[in-house]
Amino acid sequence: MASLSIRGISKRFDGRGGKVQALQDVSLEVTDGEFVVLCGPSGCGKSTLLSIVAGLDPFDKGEVLENGKLVKGPGRDRTVVFQDHGLFPWLTARKNVEFGLKQAGLPAKERTRRAEEFLHLVHLSRFSNAYPHELSGGMKQRVAIARALALDPEVLLMDEPFSALDAQTREDLYVQLEEIWQRTRKTILFVTHNVREAVVLGDRVVLFSSRPGRIKEQFQIQLARPRTIDQVDVAKVAAQIARSLKEDRSKAREEEYDDDWQPEEADVLRRAGSGMGDYI
């Protein structure tokens, strides 16, 4: 387990029109074994922040510390599960899980033992010799989770890992991910734009503003576990978070309107775009 300290992180990208501020002065403390969900609209910088914590992305200002030590680049103590599972199509599920262990120099027998252990953890023991094209989307993501966990990281970073899956598969994976978290007590930093997903999974939901990404609000989720997507209390908390998100999105739209537009025109557009869609 590990604690994370994210202190004053700011980052700009080079855009066609000049510099684009992606993150601005983001600070966040994550405690040992905590499941923290970063939530917000597309383009708010939450995935960028995850990449910075992973040591994959440079930044302009601030610092990231893990257990008090400065993060200077990628490390096996922080593994990432991406939206695209990233499995090697020419390797079996077991060989995909073994890949990082081989890079780390573990002997063949130990690689096999650990791969089988973590495939069992994600309920895929029977598919250890299957190739990615023989697996469903949810099964591929479970292999990706097993591959990340096999390295025994202190922090598991998850970047919208379920967003491309159908609703039923996502709900099944919520249950399995919580089981894994309860058993391993890994520190998890999870990115999503789906508010109900955030409430089902997280100890805490950190809501980002529209670009430039800042932490707008934080919500401690005190509902008993396990939780389900259709639970009344989950829906109530998700609606509260969604209202805050909606306010920020409305404000961002208004800032993009020309100054000479009439207020009623802005109001029509605001109401037309007020649906939350996937957010709840």
Give how far Cα 133 sits from Cα of 136, 139, 152, 212, Å. Answer: 8, 10, 27, 39
Residue 273 within any structural domain of the chain: yes
By CB atoms closer than 10 A (0-12, 13-18, 19+), residue 255 is: exposed
Listed in sequence order, the residues at least 6 apart from 24 whose beta carbon sits closer than 8 Å to its beta carbon are 10, 212, 213, 214
pLDDT at 60: 94
Of 148, 146, 150, 156, the closest CA to residue 66 belongs to 156
Q: Tell me the pLDDT tens digit for each residue of 100-110.
A: 899 888 999 99
Residue 197 within any structural domain of the chain: yes
- The pLDDT of residue 153 is above 70: yes
Give how far Cα 208 sits from Cα of 45, 113, 136, 186, 247, Å. Answer: 8, 41, 32, 23, 12
Residue 148 within any structural domain of the chain: no
Number of structural domains, the chain? Answer: 1
Q: Tell me the pLDDT tens digit for each residue of 122-139.
A: 999 999 999 999 999 999
Residue 147 within any structural domain of the chain: no
Residue 205 within any structural domain of the chain: yes
- The pLDDT of residue 180 is above 60: yes
Host domain of residue 27? 4-77+153-279
Residue 107 within any structural domain of the chain: no
- The pLDDT of residue 267 is above 50: no
By CB atoms closer than 10 A (0-12, 13-18, 19+), residue 168 is: exposed
* Neighbouring C-beta atoms of residue 182, cutoff 10 Å: 11
How far is 212 from 24, CA to CA, in rounded Å? 6
Residue 244 within any structural domain of the chain: yes
Query: CA Rg, the chain, in Å?
Result: 20
Residue 267 within any structural domain of the chain: yes
CATH number at residue 19: 3.40.50.300
Q: Tell me the pLDDT tens digit for each residue of 37-75.
A: 999 888 889 999 999 999 999 999 999 999 999 999 998
How far is 70 from 92, CA to CA, in rounded Å? 36
How far is 105 from 78, CA to CA, in rounded Å? 18
